[in-house]
Amino acid sequence: MIKTEAINTVVFDIGNVLTDFGWEPFLRRKGFDDEMVERIGNATTRSATWNELDRGVLTTQEIIDGFVANDPGIEKEIRYAFSDLSGILVARERTVPWIRALKAAGYKVLVLSNYSKQAEEACPEAIAFLSEVDGGILSYKEKVIKPDPEIYKRLCERYDLIPERTVFIDDTERNIIAARNLGWHGIVFKNYEQVESELRSMGVDY
C-alpha cells in the first residue's frame, strides 16, 4: 500500500551518525590517562559551554576560557588539548555509500547538525561527504543549535520540506523529540541495522 504522505527527505545529524565524534580517543592521543580524559571531558565536551562552541557566537579563545572556568585546576591541560582539534571527528566508511543509495532511490538528503567552525576547519576530511548531500544547516552558521525549534524551521523553509514527509536521524533523543514535535518523523541512531530497520518500517526503500 502506498502511503499518501510517503517520506521523500532524509535528514542526518553529523556527529556519531555520519562521522565519529571521538573526543575520548582524541584526548588519549594527546597523552592523557583515563582519569584526566574524564575530567577534561566534564569541563569541555560534556559541559554547557560546548553548546556555545556549536552556536558560533564566541571566539575560540572565549570558548577555551569558558572550559577553563569549568575546572581551573586543569587549565594547562585544557588549553593544550584544545589548541588543535585535528582528529576529534573521523570519517565513517559507510557514510558516502549510504547517502548515494538514498539519493539513487530518489530521496532528498540533507544534514542538520550542531557543528562548530573550529571542527569544520580542523577536520575537513571527516565531512568531505557534504559534497554528496543536497544541502543542510551547520549550527555555527545560523547561530542557533538543536533542539531549538528555530533551526528545524529554517531547514524546512530553506528546502521546502513537508514535515510529515521528512525523517530525521540523530544520536541524541532530545533532538529527535524536538523534530517530532514539529511533525517530522524521527529515529534515534544507535547502529546502522536499527536505523535501516526503522527506515524500512516507515516505507523508506533504497
pTM assigned to the model: 0.94
Q: What is the per-residue pLDDT for 5?
A: 76
The domains found in the chain, sorted by start residue, are 9-20+91-201 (3.40.50.1000), 23-81 (no CATH)
Residue 201 is classified by DSSP as: H
d(CA 193, CA 118): 31
Residue 131 is classified by DSSP as: G
Which percentage of the chain shows pLDDT scores above 70? 98
d(CA 191, CA 34): 25
Q: Is 146 left (phi over 0), alpha (psi -120 to 50) or beta?
A: beta
pLDDT digits (tens, 9 = 90+) for 90-112: 999 999 999 999 999 999 999 99
* pLDDT of residue 36 exceeding 70: yes
- Reading the block at residue 70, the C-alpha cell is 569549568
* pLDDT of residue 3 exceeding 70: no
